[in-house]
Amino acid sequence: MKEKDEIAAANERLWEREVQKGCGFTIPWLDLHPDVIRQYVRGTLAHVPEPLTVMSPREILAEVEGRDVLCLACGGGQQSVVFSLLGARVTVVDLAQGQLEGDRKAAAHYGYEIATIHADMRDISCLDNESFDIVYGTSICYVPDARQVYREVARVLRSGGLYRTDWGQPAIHFVTWDGNGYRVAKPYAEKIDRREDGGIEFRHYMDDIFNGLLEVGFSIRQVEDLSRNVRPDPKAPPGSWTHEWTYLGGNFVVVAKKERTAF
């Protein structure tokens, strides 16, 4: 990785701590079976195992065998497992070495090969132009300018390739739990959130999210509201990510297609 700025350094430290704490986003999925994943992709599972419910939209998993997939800021041995067990050639880029170790652990467990790269999603210059068919991305809330990531994704995607990324609705990004309920903590115009745990997050506005994709040559193929089907978890403590997502919603996925070269 090239020299880190303040943002990357802070968020790298945050996620290395999350790995040590055993945060749910850092625990490899070691109990999946390819047949179950294929049934999920076809929509024929009566009961979807908990890990697969976050692999959304499931249509992006169809026909990935033999394809080149980049899991961008998706370390932890989770999303990479699903693509790999479906027969894709997978590369994982993540800011935290501990997260990448989860991907290597999962690969050893299942017996497939995987490439892991320690890098900031804003600069993946170590990857060749037009080298991937799918980029499955998360966590852009940890970078200040989505367009930086979009440009890199457009560069490494082949023509016709798909880019999947997820977001939090900007209006609720700085809502916090005050002990009795959720409250709006900052004006809508404020973009940066220096968290108490040391992480640095950024609010991204709808025009930046969608216009940024169009500017670098993507077309919007699908938008999916992730929160509408979330049911309350009685074990989730108020203020936790799980509790917040249940009551505030606002999480959504965008799937875009690279229509032209614009880098």
- Ordered by where they begin, the domains of the chain are 6-258 (3.40.50.150)
The three-class DSSP label of residue 11 is helix
Is residue 215 within 8 Å of 262, Cβ to Cβ?
yes
Per-residue pLDDT of the chain (263 residues; tens, 9 = 90+): 667 899 999 999 999 999 999 999 999 999 999 999 999 999 999 888 888 988 999 999 999 999 999 999 999 999 999 999 999 999 999 999 999 999 999 999 999 999 999 999 999 999 999 999 999 999 999 999 999 999 999 999 999 999 999 999 999 888 889 999 999 888 999 999 999 999 999 999 999 999 999 999 999 999 999 888 777 788 889 888 788 888 888 889 999 999 976 55
Rg of the Cα atoms in the chain: 18
Of 228, 217, 221, the residue nearest 130 (C-alpha): 217
Strands (E), the chain: 68-72, 89-94, 115-118, 132-137, 157-168, 175-177, 182-184, 192-194, 200-202, 218-225, 251-258
End-to-end CA distance of the chain: give it in Å, rounded.
Answer: 22
pTM of the model: 0.93
Place of tokens 């999350």: 18
State the CB neighbour count (10 A cutoff) for residue 197. Answer: 10
